Amino acid sequence: MKGQRLDGKWGSIHTTALHENTVAASALYNEIVAAEVCETLGLATEPRTVTPGRRPVTEMAGVPHELIRWTSRRGDQIAACLAELEHEYVTAVDDDGEPKFLPVISERARAKLNQIAARKTRPPKRKTQPLARLRAWWKASAILTSGVAVDIINSLLEARPRRGCRDPAPGHRRGRHSAGGRRHHPDRVRDERRRPLPVSP
């Protein structure tokens, strides 16, 4: 993998440094995507608590939670498989009938079990479909199974920009506040995006 240095030359990315900053890189990527979406569509984000006691996740403000749940079917599959793996973990015994592991699952062990659950439930890759066909299928599926009113789904779909449209309305260029006080400032995010990845000389 190559990256461009400040002097304009290209070099191999320092994979060790990138691995050590995986969480930060992922968070920055999510921030950039959210900022681009909010800037282009004039939207905002808000924090939503998924698991009590854990850090809230960022969602698009105004999107019904039922519709978010409709898009989280993959997460539900992983969660169900993870629950089974955790049960097997805490009930596992050795040849002498003694527990193989501690009764309390550590965060490290849970992360490993979550990776296993994700692999076990991963569906086979499907053949590429035209975007128009996928949008039609998603709309029909959401109307039939999400429990969200049809007019709300239609209004969300109508919020998309025209093909090739990249510039939002002038009032949206400074970033937007959500109900939770979340603000995305495009200029700040672009500055973060320009920060170079660590590359080898």
pLDDT digits (tens, 9 = 90+) for 65-116: 888 888 877 888 898 999 999 999 989 888 888 888 888 888 888 889 999 9
pLDDT tens string 30-54: 889 989 988 887 888 888 887 788 7
Taking 3-state DSSP, the helix, strand and coil percentages for the chain, each rounded to the nearest 5, stand at 50, 10, 40
Query: Positive or negative CA dihedral for 108, 114, 120, 126?
Result: negative
Predicted pLDDT at 69: 82
**146 CA to centre of own chain:** 20
Q: Model-level pTM?
A: 0.49
Predicted pLDDT at 160: 56
